Amino acid sequence: MLNFKKYCVNEYKRIFNLEYESSELKKSEDKRKFAQKKAIKTASINAMKSFPKVEPSDIWKTIYLSHVNNFSGIIDQEIIKKVISADNSWKKSSGHAFEEMIRDIGNLHLSNHGIKILLQKELSYELHNDNIINEVRDISWLNEQISTSIFDLYLAIEREEGFLIFGCIQSKTSIRDRVTRDREPSINAMKAFFVSFAIVLDGDFMRLPKFKNMVNGNSPEFKINGWHGMYILTNSDIENDRIKAIDINMESFVKDCVTSSEYWINHRQWLDYSWRP
């Protein structure tokens, strides 16, 4: 049986080569960036489906090694410089790939509920084309969030006349070093009566009391919760109050999205930070 590490390496290379060769982009650098983002995203999804018992964060790290290997090669005399360049390339590509992965998986399960996840650039496009049907105050607030790139994804209710944005999502491979910075805009979103979720790949640090309190509140330092819910892609038992473990099917996240969309429509005036999906 093929082990997951070899599978990740092979799958990354297969998808990268396929996407690079089939790309209609003219510049080789543009083709490479496009192909590597697709390889990161698709290889990760395929590996998580093929090896459900392996920690998603371990798969992500192996995809990273595959990316570095594919980017740098092993015989060039400038190998060290290339590895550094590959690492920088990974940082740029992997974050966007993770956002798109969450969007794609989430939309697969949310489509039957009339809900859609939009990337920030997709929301910007829909705003520009007057396809967002929220009230004027919401439109102004959403434009402010886009200008500062605070949120990675947005939750939308699909209507014939356009989209109703009801929630914001921060999707991070790890937010340990950024959780303090990310918590404040999440609280601001909840004050504006939007649903605020976070989806994290590496959540081991959420076992520490400080970080649990940053999410759940009810401590002297963090009196209120920082998000309505934080969802961690993991196989481990990490659930604690608003912190929930999810797998590739994202069942609890999808369920909470449906619940929150209904509540936002019917009782938005009560959807403050204390609300629970």
Euclidean distance between CA atoms 253 and 230, whole angstroms: 9
| Bridge partners of residue 155, in order along the sequence | 117, 167
Q: Domain-by-domain residue ranges, the chain?
A: 4-95, 114-270
Per-residue pLDDT of the chain (277 residues; tens, 9 = 90+): 468 889 998 999 999 999 999 988 889 889 989 999 999 999 999 999 999 999 999 999 889 888 887 777 654 556 656 776 777 788 778 888 999 999 999 999 999 999 999 999 999 999 999 999 999 999 999 999 999 888 999 999 999 999 999 999 999 887 665 667 889 999 999 999 999 999 998 777 777 888 889 999 988 989 999 999 999 998 888 889 999 999 999 999 999 999 999 999 999 999 999 999 8
Euclidean distance between CA atoms 244 and 252, whole angstroms: 8
| Bridge partners of residue 232, in order along the sequence | 200, 245
Number of neighbours of residue 209 by Cβ within 10 angstroms:
9
Number of neighbours of residue 170 by Cβ within 10 angstroms:
24
Prediction pTM value: 0.83
Q: Is 131 helix (H, G, I), strand (E, B) or coil?
A: coil
> What are the residues whose beta carbons fall under 8 Å from the beta carbon of 213, sequence distance 6 or more?
219, 221, 222
